[in-house]
Structure 1
Amino acid sequence: MRALIVRGGWDGHEPVACTELFRGFLEDNGFTLRVAETLDAYLDPDPYDLIIQCWTGARFTERQESALVERVRAGAGFAGWHGGVVATGYEAPTYQFMVGGRFLCHPGGFVDHTIKINTKHPLGYGLSTFDVHTEQYFMHVDPTLDVLATTAFTGDHGAPETAGAVMPVAWTRRFGSGRVFVCTLGHSPADLQVPQTRTLTERGILWACGIVPDHDRDH
Structure 2
Amino acid sequence: MSVLIVRGGWDGHEPVVCTEMFRDLLEARGHSVTVSDSLDVYTDKAVLDAADLIVQCWTGGDLTPEQEDGLVGRVRDGAGFAGWHGGIVAFGYNAAKYQFMVGGRFIFHPGGIIDHRVDIVDGRDPIVAGLESFGIRTEQYYCHVDPRLNVLATTTFDGGHGEPDTAGVVMPVVWTRNFGDGRVFVSTLGHSPADLRVPQVRTLTERGLLWAAGEAVLSRTTNSVSSTPPSA
TM above 0.5, one fold? yes
Matched with 1:201 is 205
1:93-124 per-residue CA deviation (whole Å, 9 max, x = no partner) reads 00000000000000000000001112133322
Provide the rounded CA distance (Å) in 2 between the counterparts of 1:143 and 1:100.
8
Deviation of residue 209 (structure 1)?
Answer: 1.2
Task: State the number of aligned residues.
Answer: 217
Q: Structure 1: how far apart are the matches of 2:108 and 2:203?
A: 25
- How far 1:216 moved relative to its partner? 9.3
Give the CA deviation at 1:212: 2.9
**CA-atom RMSD, angstroms?**
1.2
Please state if 1:12 is matched with 2:12: yes
Whether 2:24 is the aligned partner of 1:21: answer no
**Are 1:113 and 2:109 an aligned pair?**
no
Percent identity between the aligned chains?
63
TM-score (norm 1): 0.97
Q: What aligned pairs does 1:138-149 form with structure 2 within 5 A after superposition?
A: 138-149=142-153
Quote the residue 1:210 is aligned against: 214
Tell me if structure 2 keeps the 8 A contact 1:121–1:147.
no
Secondary structure of 1:107's match?
coil
Aligned partner of 2:99 in structure 1 is 96
Q: Superposed, which structure 2 residues align to 1:54-73 within 5 Å?
A: 54-73=57-76
User: Aligned to 2:85, which of 82, 90, 95?
Assistant: 82
8 Å Cα contact 2:45-2:70 kept in structure 1: no
TM-superposed CA distance for 1:188, in Å, is: 0.5
Mark the runs of 5 or more structure 2 residues left unpaired by the alignment.
218-224
Mapped pair 1:49 → 2:52: yes
State the alpha-carbon separation in 2 of the partners of residues 64 and 168 from structure 1: 27
Q: Which runs of 5+ in 1 are unaligned?
A: none
Which residue, 181, 185, 199 being the options, matches 1:181?
185
